[in-house]
A and B are shown apart, each in its own frame.
Chain A
């Protein structure tokens, strides 16, 4: 599965590592719901670290689109909220 970290790169993450990533994703949602800046920042850093660690960089000539997108490194809760507000 291809995961993009905004402002960074795309990583090919093995299916076996997806549950751990999804768990962090759920924690991210939880932190956003609670408006917990510190928990959000910590979870986002963990998530980015995990994607970098388990995934392999996708070559530039591989143009497959990604299935999951991770916010920019050090993005704030407010920033992500406003990005998601762009949904229609």
Chain B
């Protein structure tokens, strides 16, 4: 059987159930209006919830992004140190983060869609409630006429259908938000406890530790080399002495070499 007809039946049934039956048609109009205002408030509150959920997703995405960037840098550093295995490990973790980010992106789109739908619902509902308020006063002024009573019934049922639609849209949005919040909560917990890298396979900052250890070792090597060079240059008074004999007699001749050798100390002495 037709989906649209069955859904229509469901909406009508819910709308009728929500109707406040009152003896006095004027009371019925007022009661209905009160309920409409309540519903509008609910929709607006849900809109605020959606906005919060969206912001949270955006924050998480930027945190994951930062983690991914860090791993990328670590991979580069590891490769620079010639530790290809470590670089591979960092990139593998980064790939897992990228998956998480992608799924967050999908959720973000869904939240945006919910927000848009609720905004439409809120503004249409507002317009209908405003129209109803005007109509309500006109109908109340003439409700004794039997025709007006029928109009009251129709107006109240009509708006009740819209309220039912808004209620169903609200439920749907809240379900989605609850699902997202549960997921976002889990990611938050992981980020807070710093357990995310663990969950992704491997200790918290073991990559960084290995990188640090290697760069420390590298530093020690460098210092050692520097020390060796110093000691080497201590014995290297000879090489510096051995240079001039080779250079002086061979090239531009004695006069210039002799002149510069004598001339250099003279200006210094003059200045000081």
Q: Do the beta carbons of A7 and B169 come within 8 Å of each other?
A: yes
Please indicate the chain B residues that have their CB under 8 angstroms from the CB of A8 in the complex. Answer: 117, 120-121, 124
How long is the Cα–Cα vector from A62 to B130 in the complex, in angstroms? 12
Q: Do the beta carbons of A64 and B172 come within 8 Å of each other?
A: no
Interface string of A45-88 (1 = CB under 8 A from B): 00000000000000111111111111111110001100110111
Q: Do the beta carbons of B172 and A79 come within 8 Å of each other?
A: yes
From A3, A28, A60, A86, contact of B128 by CB (8 A)? A60
How long is the Cα–Cα vector from A3 to B3 in the complex, in angstroms? 12
For residue A46, give the distance in angstroms from its CB to the closest CB of chain B: 13
Q: Do the beta carbons of B158 and A63 come within 8 Å of each other?
A: yes
How long is the Cα–Cα vector from A72 to B117 in the complex, in angstroms? 9
Contact status of A32 and B12, CB under 8 A, knowing A7-B117, A8-B120, A73-B117? no
For residue A52, give the distance in angstroms from its CB to the closest CB of chain B: 12
| Chain B residues touching A, majority SS | helix
A6 an interface residue at 8 Å Cβ cutoff? yes
Interface size for A (C-beta < 8 A) is: 37
B70 an interface residue at 8 Å Cβ cutoff? no
| Chain A residues touching B, majority SS | loop
B30 an interface residue at 8 Å Cβ cutoff? no
Q: Do the beta carbons of B158 and A68 come within 8 Å of each other?
A: no
Please indicate the chain A residues that have their CB under 8 angstroms from the CB of B161 in the complex. Answer: 4, 65-66
How long is the Cα–Cα vector from A57 to B247 in the complex, in angstroms? 99
Interface string of B68-80 (1 = CB under 8 A from A): 0000000000000
Q: Do the beta carbons of B4 and A25 come within 8 Å of each other?
A: yes
Q: Do the beta carbons of A83 and B158 come within 8 Å of each other?
A: no
For residue A67, give the distance in angstroms from its CB to the closest CB of chain B: 6
Please indicate the chain A residues that have their CB under 8 angstroms from the CB of B121 in the complex. Answer: 7-8
Q: Do the beta carbons of B165 and A71 come within 8 Å of each other?
A: no
Please indicate the chain B residues that have their CB under 8 angstroms from the CB of A20 in the complex. Answer: none
**B160 nearest in chain A by CB position:** A65
B8 an interface residue at 8 Å Cβ cutoff? yes
Q: Do the beta carbons of B3 and A60 come within 8 Å of each other?
A: no
For residue B112, give the distance in angstroms from its CB to the closest CB of chain A: 12
Q: Do the beta carbons of B124 and A9 come within 8 Å of each other?
A: yes
4 cross-chain pairs, A with B, having the tightest CB-CB distances, nearest first: A63-B158, A61-B131, A60-B127, A7-B169
| Extra contacts besides A63-B159, A70-B7, A84-B3 (8): CB < 8 Å | A7-B169, A60-B127, A60-B130, A65-B15, A66-B161, A69-B7, A69-B10, A84-B6
